Amino acid sequence: MQGKALKIGLTTAVLGTAFAALLWTTMADGAAYYLHVDEVMSQQEEMYGKRLQVHGFAHDIRVRPKSMEYRFEIRNKGYSVNAEYTGIVPDTFQNESEVVVTGRLDGDTFRVEPDGIMAKCPSKYEAKPAVGGGAPAELASGVD
């Protein structure tokens, strides 16, 4: 009986250790700092080369003709950083859209990883303001 209990105990310990190691390595690879542009730019030297997720608002989006190379600014609270990205961008990626980009700070430029742009356009999803205290604007004006 003691031999059977020892085998079960060892098997449980080995499987538990393997599961913990797998979980640790998976989480370590996916972990990234999540900061706003102003936080990143106020501590640039500490951020160089680190994998970051940066939140801000896209401005001055330029795309190179006949390519998928984008250059744009990410701004927040009076700070900005230039960003470069090559790839397909989300449909909601426009000037003034809220973005979270994943990549690395290289000098004064943020190099965005492939598939590293998430964008949303809140004005597209907000309810239209009501007129006269209740009905949506298009119903209040008589438009169907």
With cut-offs at 50, 70 and 90, classify the pLDDT of residue 137.
very low
Beta-carbon neighbour count of residue 54 at 10 Å?
Answer: 27
With cut-offs at 50, 70 and 90, classify the pLDDT of residue 73.
very high
| Position with higher pLDDT, 27 vs 76 | 76
In the three-class reduction of DSSP (H, G, I as helix; E, B as strand; rest coil), residue 102 is classed as strand
Beta-bridge partner residues of 110: 83, 105
Q: Give the pLDDT of residue 72.
A: 92
Selection from 86, 97, 90 nearest residue 124 by Cα: 97
Tens digits of residue pLDDT in 105-119: 888 888 988 888 888
- Per-residue pLDDT at 69 exceeds 70: yes
Selection from 89, 40, 86, 91 nearest residue 64 by Cα: 86
User: 68-99 b/e with 16+ CB inside 10 Å = b?
Assistant: eebebbbbbeeebbebebeeebeebbeeebeb
Q: Taking the chain, what is the end-to-end CA distance rounded to the nearest angstrom?
A: 80
